[in-house]
Amino acid sequence: MTEHTRMNEFLTHSLLNFKRSGSMPDDMIEDLLNDDGTPAYKNVCAKITIPLAGNLETACTILHCSKRVFIESAIIDALRQFDDLANEYDVYQPHEVKGESL
């Protein structure tokens, strides 16, 4: 595990800030369009508990990011984990159940 010295924290912050600054600003993402002029994004809604919503607000405030950016990042990471596990366990390949091929 990395030791969290002041210098380590400073370098980590500076490097991640530099990395993130190369990304597209949040307000520009909302204006993205597909070739046919339709929006290149889709609204995804989910009801979450009040404590979870509070934790989300707190995290976004501390990180100075929008809830959309935070949630999108979490979904991307979760889908990468899903893909890794799906590939590891060959979930897309034909399987046998009780001696029968699916």
Adjacent-strand bridge partners of 100: 97
pLDDT at 53: 97
**Rounded to an integer, what distance in angstroms lies between the CA atom of residue 65 and that of residue 80?**
22
Q: What is the pLDDT of residues 18-74, one digit of tens each?
A: 787 765 555 555 567 788 878 778 888 899 999 999 999 999 998 888 898 889 889
Give pLDDT, residue 17.
81
Q: Where in the chain are the domains?
A: 19-91
User: Is the distance from CB of 12 to CB of 6 less than 8 angstroms?
Assistant: no
